[in-house]
Amino acid sequence: MDKRDEQNEQDEQKVEACIRILEEQYGVPRAEIMDPVDLLVMTILSQNTSDTNSLRAFGNLKKAFADYELLLNASTKDVAESIRAGGLADIKARRIRETLLKIKQDRGMIDLGFLGDMGEDAAMQYLLALPGVGPKTASVVLLFAFGLPFLPVDTHVYRVSRRLGLIPEDVKLEKAQTILERIVPVEKYLSVHLNMIRHGRLICRARGPRHGECALRIYCDSFQAEPKALNDSNNHPQSALR
């Protein structure tokens, strides 16, 4: 086995180990089938706010408008009022209305079910062409609503995977998804997305990561680079792979 094969094998072992440890800690997530338009609206509402606030805003929006046609007929101001709990209400209300309007103009109805039949690349391109929809939002919709092979990378997934050394330090967020999709088994995309978000919120926080409580530390490049970690053989990855 040459050096490159050896490195690839070690990388694969590391990814598998991290996925297994996160699943032991947080469980194996199951996809709940959701309407893709609901998912799209929820993902827009989740931008720059907490889950609690965005879920509350989504609940209020659904209460205020029995369906998305009614929402389109309402003013941006009324939509913004209904989602006030989620923050950036005026911007998000405008974005939601523009997005729904574009779907309606394209398809004659506010429905994204057709994405499941058009092939994964075409489905991604369609979503990216909608106002305010970026790769993360599009990937969330395609993974969660249709089970298509996309691994959405948010700020938590990006931070945790960089610290672990699964992606190089200098890789930008936009490129991180391509690298992770190459090294994570497709059937684990959902698991990695959800469990890394949990881990990033609870343990591998942006400020003050809780290394001492982290079950991934023996595989973590960032932790291993700290002088204290290197001096402790129990914290060394080779001791786990042996």
Shortest gap between Cβ of 19 and ligand SF4 (angstroms)? 13
Q: Of 42, 80, 123, 214, which lies in the binding site for ligand SF4, with binding defined by CB under 6 A?
A: 214
CB of 135 to ligand SF4, least distance (A): 24
Of residues 183, 209, 227, 233, which one binds ligand SF4 by CB under 6 A?
A: 209
Residues in region 123-162 near ligand SF4 by CB under 6 A: 160
**Does 14 contact ligand SF4 by CB under 6 A?**
no
At residue 185, φ and ψ (nearest 5 deg) are: -60, 140
* 3-class secondary structure, 35: coil
For ligand SF4, the binding residue among 95, 136, 193, 217 (CB under 6 A) is 217
The C-alpha atoms of residue 157 and residue 21 are separated, in whole angstroms, by: 15
Q: Which of 92, 136, 172, 188 is catalytic?
A: 136
As measured in angstroms, the least distance from the Cβ of 57 to ligand SF4 is 30
Q: What is the dihedral of CA 44, 110, 134, 186, to 10 degrees?
A: 100
Q: Which of 162, 163, 188, 193 binds ligand SF4 (CB under 6 A)?
A: 163
Residues in CB range of 128: below 8 A, 6 or more apart: 134, 135, 138
Start-to-end CA span in the chain (Å):
18
Q: What are phi and psi of 32, to 5 degrees?
A: -95, 125
Active site residue 136: yes
Query: What are the CA-CA distances from residue 99 to residues 47, 78, 96, 110, 136 (Å)?
Result: 15, 16, 5, 10, 16
Contact code string over 186-205 relative to ligand SF4, x by CB under 6 A: -----------------xx-
The residues that are catalytic are 136
What residue ranges bind ligand SF4 (CB under 6 A)?
Answer: 160, 163-164, 203-204, 209-211, 214, 216-217, 220, 222-223
